[in-house]
Amino acid sequence: MQMPEPDARVLSRKAEIVARLREVLPADAVIDDEAETRAYECDALTAYRCPPLCAVLPASTEEVSAVLTICHEEGVPVVPRGSGTSLAGGALPTADSVILGVARMNEVLETDYENRFIRVQTGRTNLSVTGAVEEEDFFYAPDPSSQLACAIAGNIAMNSGGAHCLKYGVTTNNLLGVTMVLMDGTVIELGGAHLDPGGLDLLGLVCGSEGQLGVVTEATLRILRKPEGARPVLIAFNSNEVAGECVSDIIKAGVLPVAIEFMDRPCIVACEAFAKAGYPDCEALLIVEVEGSEAEIAEQLGLITQIARRHDPVELREAQDADEAGRIWLGRKSAFGAMGQINDYMCLDGTIPVSALPQVLRRISELSREIGLEVANVFHAGDGNMHPLILFNANQPGELEKCEALGAEILKLCVEVGGCLTGEHGVGIEKRDLMSVQYAPADLEAQMAVKDVFDPGWLLNPAKVFPLAVSEARRAVAAE
């Protein structure tokens, strides 16, 4: 993965730039020691690493503004960073960039149950937002797998989803307002505790803009009352096609489960070996979860099992108690860890129309055989968001490249059947060069025009999202 050459002028002025940053931040909030900046050399896409010029850890919106003002004046690129859990390289630095980490901004600023919102600093982790409102039986709905570690800042940057977004939507559907600092240090507020303000929907534009339009320091998030209960059912099938049809039939029948998770044989085998969840020996497995009171759960599960039976399942296991529910989820939740035990893996994130599921799974297994790397599939089937995991050995020369080539083929397939490159992880650097597969030049031009307005100098996270060749002219002008 190519990154732009660092700006020699910036590199040569490192001492002056660091000194200016130290004037506006406490001493321990500016990290320029080479050994220490290594902590910021990559995010969860560990195949690519580069220590930044320095890292800063501001503790307030004012400090973020002061940092950005200096970087703007000095022409230094800034890479915002939440918790560094991006699988797409969204927080990967360049040697001439300042990493702006929001980790020290993790306060809850306001909780309002009457109006059902919470206002937090964006360094706060996703799970601890729910943690802050749990005692009143409320929760924050988006639940990315990394929710224990990932920050709200990163969730907003990537418009993160999770297993339960079939019912509750993704970050953009649960974000009411932000305080954001523009690259020139200007602080703006968008939205608030009220819904759908008039005017252009800049809040909707900022969510998912991968830290390229501004640094979001505070967020107002919608919180919801927890349902009375939830219960999963496990349904095993002898073919991917039949499992796919069952998903479609459940949705058509008017049941809206909170989650429909799908695992294929390679994934089931790996999870079983790792977590011993007691999964049946089968080709495809669905975990369908519904919510409500006991009676409501029973009613919905009754309908779902009735539909599932029409498709001749190998096994149908309804959780009788919390313990059994835990075991049904156990394998699924340990899928990534299980894969990590076997091998290095690359996790893809394309979305497809649900109707294309069987066709896409068949083609993926063909591609996997052609290229000679195994692929395990685990994904959110209700919304078509796939997570093919390509297994490879990073220590074997050439395997990473083979893996990336297979990944690219699978993502192109997703676009071909009417889907997209990324459903919830973001483009970052990982899918940057594939953007032209999904979007025509005019489509990318329109998106880049937005960045021109928010960040005319193209200093914020500049080498991400758009293919380097496509954004080159703009970045070159910025470097002048």
Partner 1 sequence: MRPETETELAEMIRDASGPLRVRGGGTRAVGRSAGEVLETGAMSGIVLHEPGALTLVAKAGTPLAEIEAALEAEGQRLAFEPMDHRGLLGTDGAPTIGGVAAANVSGPRRVQAGACRDFMLGVRFVDGAGRVVSNGGRVMKNVTGYDLVKLMAGSWGTLGVMTEIAFKVLPKPAATATLVLAGLSPEEAVPVLSQALGSPFDVSGAAHLPEGPKGGPLTLVRIEGFADSVAYRGGRLSELFARHQPVVETDAARGAALWKAVRDVESFHGKPGDVWRISCTPSDAPALAARLGAEALVFDWGGGLIWALLPEGADARDRLGAGFRGHATAVRASGDLPTFQPEPAPVAALSAGLRARFDPKGLLNPGLMA
- Closest to partner 1 by CB, 27 or 200: 200
Query: Using the rule CB under 8 A, which residue among 226, 363, 402, 412 binds partner 1?
Result: 226
Q: Which of 333, 257, 243, 325 is nearest to 288 (CA)?
A: 257
Shortest distance, position 424 Cβ to partner 1, whole Å = 6
Task: Provide, rounded to whole angstroms, the least separation between the CB of residue 227 and partner 1.
Answer: 5
Name which position in 256, 316, 342, 400 contacts partner 1 (CB under 8 A). 256
Give the distance from CA 476 to its chain's centroid.
29
Which 414-433 positions form the footprint of partner 1 (CB under 8 A)?
Answer: 418-427, 431
Burial of 197 (0-12, 13-18, 19+ CB in 10 A): middle
Contact 252, 246 (CB under 8 A): no
Q: Is 193 in the site for partner 1 (CB under 8 A)?
A: yes
Which tokens is 329 given?
């989820």
Token representation of residue 212: 């390229």
Among positions 438, 460, 463, 471, the unique one binding partner 1 when judged by CB under 8 A: 438
Using alpha carbons only, give the angle 314, 318, 319 rounded to the nearest 5 degrees. 135
Q: Which residues of 210-222 are buried (b: 16+ CB within 10 A; e: fewer)?
A: bbbbbbbbbbbbb
Q: Please identify which residue in 94, 172, 334, 461 interacts with partner 1, judged by CB under 8 A.
A: 172
By beta-carbon proximity to partner 1, the closer residue of 173 and 359 is: 173
Do 193 and 178 meet the contact criterion of CB atoms below 8 Å apart? Answer: no
Q: Does residue 228 belong to the site contacting partner 1 (CB under 8 A)?
A: yes
Q: How far is the CB of 370 from partner 1 (least distance, A)?
A: 25
Q: 318 Cβ partners below 8 Å, 6+ apart?
A: 231, 233, 301, 305
Q: Which stretch binds partner 1 (CB under 8 A): 9-17, 264-272, 347-355, 402-410?
A: 347-355
Q: Which residue has the tokens 């979007």?
A: 439
Does 80 bind partner 1 (CB under 8 A)? Our answer is no
Contact 310, 228 (CB under 8 A): no
CB 126 within 8 A of CB 78: no
Contact 94, 4 (CB under 8 A): yes
Q: Which of residues 293-312 bind partner 1 (CB under 8 A)?
A: 293, 295-296, 299-300, 303
Residue 344 binds to partner 1 (criterion: CB under 8 A):
no
Q: Which of 4, 6, 131, 197 binds partner 1 (CB under 8 A)?
A: 197
Task: Please give the size of the binding site for partner 1, defined by CB under 8 A.
Answer: 93
Give the nearest distance from C-beta 479 to partner 1 in angstroms: 22
Binding residues among 97-156 for partner 1 as defined by CB under 8 A = 113-116, 137-138
User: Of 287, 288, 285, 300, which is closest to residue 253 (Cα–Cα)?
Assistant: 300
- Stretch of 5-13, 27-35, 182-190, 368-376 lying at the interface with partner 1 (CB under 8 A): 182-190
Interacting residues with partner 1 between 41 and 60 (CB under 8 A):
none
Binds partner 1 by CB under 8 A, chosen from 60, 106, 239, 447: 447
Asked if 443 is part of the footprint of partner 1 (rule: CB under 8 A), the reply reads yes
Nearer to partner 1, 95 or 243 (CB): 243
User: In terms of CB distance, is 94 or 438 closer to partner 1?
Assistant: 438
And the tokens for 122?
A: 């964006």
Cβ-based nearer residue to partner 1, 333 or 464: 464
Q: Does residue 354 interact with partner 1 by CB under 8 A?
A: yes
What does the per-residue mask of binding to partner 1 show for 372-411, with x meaning CB under 8 A? --------x--xxx--------------------------
For residue 280, state whether it binds partner 1 (rule: CB under 8 A).
no
How wide is the angle at C-alpha 6 spanned by C-alphas 5 and 10, nearest 5°? 155
Q: Decide: is 412 part of the binding site for partner 1 (CB under 8 A).
A: no
Find the binder of partner 1 among 215, 352, 371, 373 (CB under 8 A).
352
- Residue 379 contacts by C-beta under 8 Å, 6 or more apart in sequence? 261, 262, 385, 386, 387, 388
| Least Å from the CB of residue 205 to partner 1 | 5
Q: Point out which span in 16-24, 35-43, 329-337, 440-448 binds partner 1 (CB under 8 A).
A: 440-448
CA 44/CA 46 separation, integer angstroms: 5
Tell me which of 11, 453, 473, 476 binds partner 1, using CB under 8 A: 453
Nearer to partner 1, 57 or 356 (CB): 356
Tell me how far apart the alpha carbons of residues 267 and 339 are, in angstroms, rounded to a whole number. Answer: 8
Choices 335-343, 390-398, 399-407, 413-421; region in contact with partner 1 by CB under 8 A: 413-421
Rounded Cα distance, 382 and 385, in Å: 8
Which whole-number Å values give the CA distances from 29 to 64, 130, 141, in the listed order?
11, 28, 32
Largest CA distance in the chain: 71
